[in-house]
Every structure is written in structure tokens, then in C-alpha cells.
């Protein structure tokens, strides 16, 4: 029955009618924990409070939406029986030490099939080693900082791990930084300021951007490098330095509230340079706090909250109805949470067991394409190679588009992308998927 969800028919209106009661009903089921015993246990972690909460809650709720659909259809076919999914939720509050504790707790669970979550790169760095040690399968979603995967890879001074149970389902910073630099170059900017926060995420984002500027032939001159701390509200000093150095664009890596402070500060000193930066610029706490000063901000996105395909429409409407919102707090995180859960479910089905080690092996060699809301995932991961982190990275450049903030929403930054995604959805060959029905 999983297959029935994966190959959603392009009749959106019919789904809309069906969707509401199913989702509500099964959310209730999950909440009550009625499904004891024969269940597949999947942990969802992330910051559900604090400055990163829009991403954490959206990713969690996206995953929950997928769980509700799967459970409503009877569950995952594991070997001979159908098993429902039971969710274990943990709020890491975006704190590294909380993340480490939660990872230890999850690592001690014997019957856990997998973990999906983590928004903050620092949390991944603090916690994932406990999971990796026990070989517990985890899909990082949506933390994008490069370090959370490269920590397992070969380094000049030390070889990487031979076997890795940590996967990622997010457009990692390497891709994003490349796109940010590309976009700035395409928009004919020559002088830029590189601005970042002092967290692991911000600093590694700066390194990625500087690296990309070099790789793309030094077409951009970095006239200022400015740093700020989490909680800073007044960015006038940093922005004035950037302005007086002649920056035409601000390439930025940080999270919501501080990003908003940068946009508002720039407007105050009459600085017209647009912000181009990590996908966090699509967080609701950036968009809301920056208001009209956020217009024109550009960031890589894996999903735009616009019903360009029937599948996207069903997902967006489903999310709005189930969680009673008019706008997904972080559409990217929600879509990734949704797709990553389907991918994990497909791996569990293929493994034919809830054993997390077998699930890992299945994940590295997914035979059947998984139709998600972002794309159809065809063999997203391969066997781990410490010399190449992309073996455990699902996203490639072509699945990512440039988004732009416009009047409180994220829209396509380049019209060509919308056309490309639409075409992609239309030409996707559903024939292969349909054979999946048992």
C-alpha cells in the first residue's frame, strides 16, 4: 500500500477531499501511541523551539504528514507483515549538548529503525558519532553545513570511517555556496561582502563561499568579511564597513532572526545591496521580521511553496490543513522531511526488516525509485566511500533552484527554473512506478 502513496495520481481535487480525514485520523493515532508492539520505530529530532524552530518543526511535520499517509494506508510492508510507523520525537533546542544527549539516548534503543532530523550542524557534530558508533541509520534533514558529512570522510591527516550509517537529505552547503557565487556572478556583481554568524554553520558557510569564489575563477572580489553573534540585533557597524568598501551584494550565511537584523540594518543605512545566501533566508522568522526589507533576497531552495505540480499541490494543501497554517514555516524543510521519510520507508520495505543495519544497506542500494514531492528519487545513495561524501548525499545541483523573497513569500528567483521543474514533473516516467503496486 505504500506504493499507492508513492504514485499519487494527478487528480488533485479528489485527493483534497480524501486527504483531510485521513491525515487527521492518523495524526491522532500516532499521538495516542495506539500502535504498540508491531511497529516500525522512527525517531524525529530537531529544534522545535528557539530561533531554528521554523526549520525543525516544518521538517518534523513534513515527516509526520508522510507517516500519517503511510499509516493510513496500513503501514509499511515489512517482510510478511504490514507494520505501522511509530514516531519518537525529541527536541534538541538547537543546542549541541542537548543533541549529544538525545543521540546517546537513541543509540541505546535496540529496536529503532532509523532517525531523521537535525537542523543545526553543531548538533550533528556533537551527536551523530554516538549513532554512527552503533551503526544506527540516520538521515540528516535538513542541516546543510558541510562539516556534518565531511567529518566522516578522508582528511589529509586521518582516514575517514570505512562504514557510515549517516546519510543526508538536504542541499548541502557545497551546492548552495556554488549557486550563491554563481548567482552573484550572473547578476554582474563584482564586489561582494561575505557576512556570517559565528556558529559552526556560519563559519563553514563562509569557507565554502570563499572556496567557491576561488573555484569559479575569482570573478568576485571580497571587499569585506563581517561576523556577528547569535542574538545580535544591531548590524550597523558590519554593514557600514561593507558599504564603505563598495560591496554590491551581501553573500551571507546565518539563521533567521540575525538575517532579518542584517536586512533591516541595510535598509536603515540606505544600502541597496541584495542578500544572497544559504537556504535559511527562506525561514519564516527571516521573512516576517525583515518585512519589506527582505524583498529581493535570494537563496537556494529545494522546494518552493507553489503548486506547480499536482503532487506539490497535494502536499502543500495537506500540510496547511493538517497543521492549520496558511504558509509552511519552512517549506524546504517540510518537503525534505516528507521525502526523506518516504525514502527511509522504502529502505525498510526493501530490507524486509526493521533492523537498522539492514535498513542502512538497503538505503545504499535503493532498487525502486521513490516519488517524492521534490523529485523522483532514483537510487539517491550509494555505498559509502570515505573519499567521496556525495555517496551519502541525496541532492545534486539540478534538484536545487534559486528562490527569492517577495512580499512575505518565497517565489522562484529565475523563471527558467519554474519551467524546468514543471517539465521535469511532466516528463517523469510514471510507468516504472506503477509496477510497484503489489
Partner 1 sequence: MNAAIIGQMAVSGALMGLVYALIAYGFQLTYATSKSINFGQGELVMVSAFFSLTLTNLGLPYYLMVPGGLLFGALLGLVVERAGVRLALEQKSEGWILLSIIIGLFFFSAAENIWGRDDRPFPTPISADPIHVLGVDVTRQELAVAVGVLGIMGLVELFKRRTLLGKAFEAVSADRDAAELMGISATRTVMLSYALSGAVAAVAGILVSPITTVGPTMASALILKAFSVAVVAGLDSGFGVVLIGMFLGALESLSSYYLGSGWREAPGLLLLILALAVRPTGVFGKATIRKV
Q: Binding residues for partner 1, per CB under 8 A?
A: 49-51, 53, 226-229, 231-234, 236-238, 240-241, 244, 257, 260, 264, 267-270, 285, 288-289, 291, 293
* Residues in contact with 412: Cβ distance below 8 Å, sequence separation at least 6, in sequence order: 304, 306, 401, 402, 403, 404, 418
Q: How far is the CB of 92 from partner 1 (least distance, A)?
A: 13
Give the whole-angstrom CA distance, residue 348 versus residue 84.
12
Measure the CA dihedral 249/251/256/260, to 10°: -20
Report the 10 Å Cβ neighbour count for 67: 28
DSSP string, 178-191: HHHHHHHHHTT--E
Q: How far is the CB of 12 from partner 1 (least distance, A)?
A: 33
Nearer to partner 1, 71 or 284 (CB): 284
DSSP-derived 3-state class of residue 134:
helix
Give the whole-angstrom CA distance, residue 249 versus residue 254.
16
Nearer to partner 1, 51 or 380 (CB): 51
Residues in the chain: 438
Question: φ and ψ at 367, to 5 degrees?
Answer: -75, -40
Nearer to partner 1, 358 or 406 (CB): 406
Residue 294 DSSP label:
G
Backbone angle region of 347, left / alpha / beta, with phi > 0 → left and psi within -120 to 50 → alpha: alpha
Nearer to partner 1, 213 or 271 (CB): 271
Q: How far is the CB of 63 from partner 1 (least distance, A)?
A: 21
Give the whole-angstrom CA distance, residue 122 versus residue 143.
9
Report the 10 Å Cβ neighbour count for 414: 15
Using the structure block, give the residue that is written with the C-alpha cell 532572526: 257
Backbone angle region of 192, left / alpha / beta, with phi > 0 → left and psi within -120 to 50 → alpha: beta
Nearer to partner 1, 83 or 261 (CB): 261
Q: How far is the CB of 52 from partner 1 (least distance, A)?
A: 10
Nearer to partner 1, 266 or 316 (CB): 266
β-pairing, 39-46 with 112-117? parallel
* Residues in contact with 355: Cβ distance below 8 Å, sequence separation at least 6, in sequence order: 113
Nearer to partner 1, 31 or 237 (CB): 237
Q: How far is the CB of 270 from partner 1 (least distance, A)?
A: 6
Q: How far is the CB of 297 from partner 1 (least distance, A)?
A: 16
Q: How far is the CB of 93 from partner 1 (least distance, A)?
A: 9
Q: How far is the CB of 145 from partner 1 (least distance, A)?
A: 21
Nearer to partner 1, 28 or 269 (CB): 269
Nearer to partner 1, 217 or 270 (CB): 270
Handedness of CA 265, 188, 145, 301 (dihedral sign): positive
Nearer to partner 1, 20 or 227 (CB): 227
DSSP-derived 3-state class of residue 194:
strand
Q: How far is the CB of 232 from partner 1 (least distance, A)?
A: 7
Nearer to partner 1, 296 or 386 (CB): 296
β-pairing, 138-140 with 112-117? parallel
E strand or H helix at 285, and its extent? Answer: helix 284-290
Closest CA to 142 of 410, 326, 308, 339: 339
Handedness of CA 2, 3, 4, 10 (dihedral sign): positive
Q: How far is the CB of 282 from partner 1 (least distance, A)?
A: 16
Q: How far is the CB of 338 from partner 1 (least distance, A)?
A: 23
Amino acid at each position: 500500500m505504500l506504493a499507492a502513496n508513492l504514485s499519487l495520481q494527478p487528480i488533485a481535487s479528489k485527493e483534497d477531499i480524501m486527504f483531510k480525514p485521513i491525515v487527521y485520523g492518523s495524526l491522532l493515532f500516532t499521538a495516542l501511541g495506539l500502535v504498540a508492539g508491531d511497529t516500525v520505530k522512527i525517531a524525529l529530532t530537531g529544534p522545535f523551539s528557539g530561533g531554528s524552530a521554523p526549520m525543525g518543526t516544518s521538517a518534523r511535520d513534513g515527516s509526520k504528514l508522510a507517516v500519517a499517509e503511510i499509516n493510513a494506508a496500513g503501514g509499511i510492508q515489512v517482510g510478511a507483515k504490514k507494520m505501522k510507523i511509530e514516531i519518537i520525537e525529541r527536541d534538541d533546542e538547537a543546542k549541541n549538548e542537548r543533541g549529544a544527549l538525545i543521540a546517546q539516548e537513541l543509540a541505546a534503543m535496540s529496536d529503532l529503525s532509523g532517525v531523521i532530523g537535525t537542523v543545526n550542524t553543531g548538533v550533528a557534530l556533537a551527536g551523530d558519532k554516538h549513532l554512527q558508533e552503533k551503526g544506527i541509520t540516520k538521515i540528516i534533514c535538513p542541516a546543510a553545513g558541510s562539516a556534518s558529512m565531511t567529518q566522516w570522510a578522508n582528511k589529509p591527516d586521518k582516514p575517514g570511517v570505512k562504514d557510515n550509517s549517516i546519510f543526508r537529505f538536504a542541499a548541502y552547503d557545497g551546492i548552495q555556496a556554488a549557486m550563491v557565487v554563481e548567482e552573484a556572478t550572473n547578476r554582474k556583481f563584482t564586489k561582494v561582502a561575505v557576512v556570517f554568524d559565528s556558529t559552526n554553520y556560519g563559519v563553514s558557510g563562509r569557507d565554502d563561499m570563499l572556496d567557491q569564489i576561488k573555484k569559479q575563477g575569482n570573478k568576485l572580489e571580497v571587499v569585506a568579511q563581517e561576523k556577528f553573534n547569535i542574538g545580535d540585533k544591531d548590524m550597523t557597524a558590519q554593514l557600514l564597513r561593507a558599504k564603505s568598501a563598495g560591496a554590491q551584494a551581501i553573500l551571507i550565511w546565518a539563521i533567521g532572526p540575525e538575517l532579518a537584523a542584517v536586512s533591516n540594518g541595510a535598509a536603515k543605512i540606505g544600502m541597496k545591496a541584495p542578500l544572497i545566501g544559504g537556504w535559511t533566508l527562506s525561514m519564516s522568522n527571516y521573512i516576517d521580521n525583515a518585512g519589506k526589507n527582505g524583498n529581493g533576497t535570494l537563496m537556494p531552495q529545494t522546494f518552493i511553496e507553489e503548486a506547480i505540480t499536482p503532487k506539490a499541490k497535494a502536499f502543500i494543501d495537506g500540510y496547511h490543513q493538517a497543521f492549520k497554517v496558511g504558509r509552511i514555516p519552512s517549506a524546504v524543510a517540510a518537503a525534505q522531511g516528507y521525502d526523506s521519510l518516504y525514502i527511509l520507508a522504502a529502505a525498510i520495505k526493501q530490507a524486509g526488516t526493521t533492523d537498522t543495519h539492514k535498513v542502512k544497506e538497503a538505503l545504499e542500494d535503493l532498487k525502486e525509485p521513490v516519488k517524492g514531492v521534490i523529485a523522483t528519487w532514483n537510487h539517491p545513495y550509494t555505498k559509502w566511500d570515505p573519499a567521496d561524501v556525495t555517496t551519502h548525499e541525496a541532492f545534486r545541483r539540478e534538484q536545487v533552484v534559486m528562490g527569492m523573497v517577495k512580499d512575505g513569500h518565497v517565489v522562484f528567483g529565475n523563471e527558467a527554473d519554474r519551467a524546468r521543474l514543471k517539465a521535469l514533473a511532466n516528463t517523469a516516467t510514471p510507468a516504472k512506478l506503477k509496477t510497484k503496486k503489489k
